[in-house]
Amino acid sequence: MTRNAFLVAAMAVPIAVVGSAAYVSYAAAGKVYYVAPSGSDAAAGTQAAPWASFAHAQAAAQAGDTVYFRGGTYSYTRASSGCSSGTARVDAITLNKSGAAGNPIRYWAYPDERPVFDFSKMTDNCRIKGIDVTGSYLHLQGLEITGVRQNNNLNHESWGIWVSGSNNTFERINAHHNMGPGLFIQDGGGNLVLNSDSHDNYDSMTSNGAGESADGFGAHISANHPGNVFRGCRAWNNSDDGFDLINAFSSVLIENSWAWHNGYIPGTNTSAGNGNGFKAGGYGGDYVGNGAKHTVRTSVAFGNKAAGFYANHHTVANDYFNNTSYNNHPDYNMLGVNAAGAAVGLGNLRNNIAYGGTLTSNMSGANATTNSWNLSVTLSDGQFQSVSTSGWVAPRQADGSLPVLRNFRLAAGSALIDKGVNVGLPYSGTAPDLGAFEASTSPTASASTASASPASSEPPASASAASTPPASSGARGCTATYQLTGSWSGGFQGAVAVANSGPGLVSDWTVRLTLPAGQTVTQAWNAGFTQSGTLLTVTNSTWNGTLGLGGTATFGFLADGDGSRPPAAITCSAA
């Protein structure tokens, strides 16, 4: 990956920040603290007497607690330590205290308010991390990160958010106008970046060329750190790549995400860095024997300076399923490298659309079938409801999921409907459609949740039927249905839908799953859990226990072990 550059005068795009009073009830399980730009660290940390600093709030917070940041600007002028050299790394904010499995420490925007962390006044003469997350089991939600600077040209970039901890959730983050990547996972596993935006990042002060290192999102993790996921994210107007997985030695999943107009100085069409929408791997052009397999699916790339989807000399065939690429250069570039160091086509491509620009390159050797360029289909604008490149920065939905657009959704009667093959994703009709959007189903949120609940980290239902056991019988009014939603070497991700089966109101529910031997749950969301041997017991959170007749709630979890083996039994009890 080449990294970055920043132009203070580049245009910012306003992003709607949404909230819900339901956050308060969700947070009530632990202590609740408050921070405000006008607060004082000598105060009580209450809503009426908030603290002033992130550091003071972290010192007080314990697993299960919630810290609300009131709207306004939190301006930083210096790092927490001095620069030992011009190439050193320093933090403005360090999050090094961990929560616990099922009880994260939550650092959330106060409902319907916009806390902005502005680092543009920092003068430290070295590399700056706006927020350095070394802790685990943390949940950051609704925070805006901007202005992280690099004040010399001895380095490649600084970073908006740097992550080396595990099992963290970054939700509704808006990172923009930083002199480096907006959010960068350096290490750690099981991190979820959900419904977040990273845009207009540009580094003009860099040792490897202006604009060469400011990606929207990056994951460059070492081996044995699986489970990092980007879901429902947008990356645009970044001077380098939208998403960059170079030097990632553990598998990463990118899904339901969009990348456009990357590779230019923000606010212009002036060339800057690499400019790929989704750069899915690579190790500097060299062959490595322990490369990781990544998955990019149900995502959209358009108008990027370089490729929409790029293998970047990767050494393993990644999976590219149900993506849409429009007017990129090219739309899909599967340039890989084999053990002899020779260039080869590498990638498993299914159900993808390439339209406009150069469609493909370096496909010789790639495993590509049931894509738009493999089929006897003539593409035209009429195959889609719209091919507009406008509207993609529209405000997110109330739960934080991507806006519902007509753009690149298949038109009624499109020749791309039912032309795909089953890759384990949900579909309607006789076969999956091509592209990122299934035509015969209504658009769904990337993390669905009941309207009365807070925006959650719950995964979408995307398991194959073979991995889904039958729904449990709910003797006291509820049923529970399990789905495998993601897997990797040594771990997996699951989701369970709980439904009120009658006859009356459900006030609380408990789900018990008998897991196969060797499966250990490490993290859950939207519920509390305990595990004793193979028995996993899950109880509702404070905000999703009440279910009317036919009502549903969903929780998810990450686990170590072989996810291909579903639970032997599931029961649901209600009160």
pLDDT of residue 490 exceeding 50 = yes
Assign 34 to helix, strand or coil: strand
Considering only 7-11, 69-73, 445-449, 478-482, which range has the smallest mean pLDDT? Answer: 7-11
pLDDT of residue 412 exceeding 90 = yes
Band of pLDDT at residue 545, cut at 50, 70 and 90? confident
Q: Could you say which DSSP state residue 147 is in? A: -
Average pLDDT over residues 362-387: 96
Q: Token pair of 204, please? A: 């003009």
Question: Which amino acids are annotated catalytic?
Answer: 279
Band of pLDDT at residue 125, cut at 50, 70 and 90? confident
Distances (CA, A) of 242 to 87, 298, 529: 25, 16, 36
Q: How far apart are CA 3 and CA 29, in angstroms?
A: 42
For 220-235, b/e burial (b = at least 16 CB within 10 A) is bbeeebbbbbbbbbbb
- Please state, rounded to an integer, the average pLDDT across all residues of the chain: 87
What proportion of the chain, given as a percentage, has pLDDT over 70?
A: 87
Dihedral sign computed on CA atoms, order 157, 16, 35, 526: negative
Q: Token pair of 512, please? A: 């018990």
The pLDDT score that the predictor gives to residue 7 is 29
What proportion of the chain, given as a percentage, has pLDDT over 90?
A: 71
360 forms beta bridges with: 332
The pLDDT score that the predictor gives to residue 325 is 99
pLDDT in tens, 311-357: 999 999 999 999 999 999 999 999 999 999 999 999 999 999 999 99
How long is the chain?
575
Band of pLDDT at residue 465, cut at 50, 70 and 90? very low
Q: How far apart are CA 444 and CA 540, in angstroms?
A: 23
Q: How far apart are CA 201 and CA 5, in angstroms?
A: 7
pLDDT of residue 5 exceeding 60 = no
Assign 168 to helix, strand or coil: coil
pLDDT in tens, 319-329: 999 999 999 99
**Parallel, antiparallel, or unpaired: how do β-strands 174-176 and 144-146 relate?**
parallel
Enumerate residues 6+ apart whose C-beta is below 8 A from 311.
280, 281, 282, 318, 333, 334, 335, 336, 346, 347, 362
Question: HSE on the CB side for 394, CA within 13 Å?
Answer: 13
Neighbours of 550 (CB within 10 A): 9
Q: Which of 200-204, 256-260, 457-461 has the highest mean pLDDT?
A: 256-260
**465-574 — its CATH code?**
2.60.40.290
pLDDT of residue 24 exceeding 50 = no
pLDDT of residue 309 exceeding 90 = yes
Assign 366 to helix, strand or coil: coil
pLDDT of residue 407 exceeding 70 = yes
Assign 190 to helix, strand or coil: coil
Average pLDDT over residues 69-85: 93
Taking a C-beta distance cutoff of 8 angstroms, is the pair 175, 197 a contact?
yes
- Which residue ranges make up each domain of the chain? 465-574
The pLDDT score that the predictor gives to residue 504 is 75
Enumerate residues 6+ apart whose C-beta is below 8 A from 465.
none
Distances (CA, A) of 11 to 122, 224, 399, 417, 448: 21, 39, 26, 38, 32
For 84-118, b/e burial (b = at least 16 CB within 10 A) is eeeebbbbbbbbebbbebbbbbbbbbbbeebbbbb
Assign 383 to helix, strand or coil: helix
Q: How far apart are CA 445 and CA 554, in angstroms?
A: 13
Threshold 0.85, pTM exceeds: no
The secondary element (H helix, E strand) that includes residue 523 is strand 520-525
Considering only 19-33, 291-305, 503-517, which range has the smallest mean pLDDT? Answer: 19-33
Nearest CA to 223 out of 293, 273, 299 is that of: 293
Instruction: For residue 469, say if its preceding peptide bond is cis, omega within 30 degrees of 0.
Output: no
Band of pLDDT at residue 488, cut at 50, 70 and 90? low
